[in-house]
Amino acid sequence: MQADANHRAQVRSNVFLAAALIAGARTIPVRLRNLSLRGALLEAPSLPSAGSKVRLVRGELSAEGEIAWQRDGIAGLRLSEDIDVAQWVQRIGHRGQQRVDEAIAALRAHKPARSVDDKERSASLARMSAELDSICERLALFPEMSVDFAEEMLKLDALAQNFRRLSGRSE
C-alpha cells in the first residue's frame, strides 16, 4: 500500500488526450484523463481488468504498464517506467500531414523541401508493417470473418511483409 501512496503523490497533469491501449491482441481507443511520471487515468467503454499487462500508445510514444484498477469505464494504469509527461501531452499531428505542410511552406518560401532520410523512411515502413500485422490479427479474431475475406487478408499480409522487407527489418 505504501508504494501506491507514494505513486499517487506524484504530480498529475489533467488532460484530455486520445491514445490506444494494447492488451494482448486487442487495441482499445482510450482517452487519457490525467497523466503522471508513473501512471495514467484512462477512459473507454471497455477496458481490461485489474492486473492486465498492457501497452499505452500515443503517436510514436509507447509505455508498458499494468491496469491497477478498473470500474465504470475508467481505469488506473500503473506504468513500468517513468515517462516524460511533457512529451506525452504535446499536440500530435499526423506525420504525413506534417510533411505535406512542411513541403507547402518550403514551396511558398521558394526553398527546397526537406527530404526524408533512409532511417526515417525505414522506421515509417516498419511502423506500417507492424500496423498491418496488427490489423490482420484483430480481423482474424472476428467470428464473422468469412472465407471471402481470407484472400484480402493474405493481400494485407503480403503488403506488411513487403514493408518489413523494404524497411530492412525482419521479424
Cα separation of 46 and 25, whole Å? 14
Q: 124 falls in which pLDDT band (50, 70, 90)?
A: confident
Q: Nine-digit cell at 148?
A: 471471402
Q: What is the pTM of this model?
A: 0.53
Alpha carbon 128 to chain centroid distance?
Answer: 12
Average of pLDDT values for 36-50? 93
Q: 50 falls in which pLDDT band (50, 70, 90)?
A: very high
pLDDT digits (tens, 9 = 90+) for 95-104: 555 666 666 6
Would you report the helix, strand and coil content of the chain in percent, each value rounded to 5? 40, 30, 30
Please indicate whether residue 62 or residue 130 has the higher confidence score (pLDDT).
62
Which residues contact residue 114 at a Cβ distance below 8 angstroms, ignoring those fewer than 6 apart? Answer: 99, 102, 103, 106
Please indicate whether residue 32 or residue 4 has the higher confidence score (pLDDT).
32
78 phi and psi, to 5 degrees?
Answer: -100, 115
Amino acid at 3: A
